[in-house]
Amino acid sequence: MLTALVRAAKAHWPYDAAFLAAVRDELTVRPGDLERFVIAERDGVVLGCYGIGGTPPAGELTDLWVAPGVIGTGLGRVLWDHAVASAAGYEYLDIDADPYAEGFYLRMGAERIGESPSGSIPGRVLPRLRVWINGTRRATVRSDDEADRHREEDGGAHHVERGRDTGPAQPPGHP
Tens-place pLDDT, residues 19-72: 999 999 999 999 999 999 999 999 999 999 999 999 999 999 999 999 999 999
The predicted pLDDT at position 134 comes to 83
Report how far residue 73's alpha carbon sits from residue 76's, in angstroms, rounded to the nearest whole number: 8
Domains contained in the chain, CATH given: 2-135 (3.40.630.30)
Residue 132 confidence class, pLDDT cut points 50, 70, 90 = very high
- 17, amino acid identity: A
pLDDT above 90 (res 144):
no
**Residue 53: exposed, middle, or buried by beta-carbon count in 10 A (0-12, 13-18, 19+)?**
middle
Helices vs. strands in the chain: H and E counts, helices first: 5, 8
